[in-house]
Amino acid sequence: MKTLSCREAGFDCDYVVRGETEEDIFKNGGEHAMKDHGMKEEDLTPEFKEKLRGLIKDQ
Ligand SMILES: [Zn+2]
């Protein structure tokens, strides 16, 4: 299980993204960010994902 804290990603939000793989994290996190933070598909740039990748924790 992997997790990614939305707060660590730079949002004022207590949501924690969970997934089995990095791919799951990006899928679930992307949905959350678009739904709750008004992000768009094009905001999820490779640079942003690279930053997020470094914040993913293995549980
Ligand atoms: Zn959030």
| Domain residue extents for the chain | 2-58
Q: How far is the CA of 11 from the centre of ligand 1 (A)?
A: 6
How many angstroms separate the alpha carbon of residue 45 from the centre of ligand 1? Answer: 17
β-strand partners of 58: 2
pTM of this prediction exceeds 0.85: yes
What confidence score (pLDDT) does residue 36 get?
97
pLDDT above 90 as % of the chain: 97
Instruction: Quote the ligand 1 centre to 43 CA distance (angstroms).
Output: 14
Compute the mean pLDDT over every residue in the chain, rounded to the nearest whole number.
96
Give the pLDDT confidence score for residue 14 in this predicted structure: 98
Contacts 24+ apart (CB under 8 A), 3-12: 3/56, 3/57, 3/59, 4/29, 4/52, 4/55, 4/56, 4/57, 5/55, 5/57, 6/32, 6/33, 8/55, 9/51, 9/52, 9/55, 11/37
> Which of the four pLDDT bands, split at 50, 70 and 90, describes residue 6?
very high
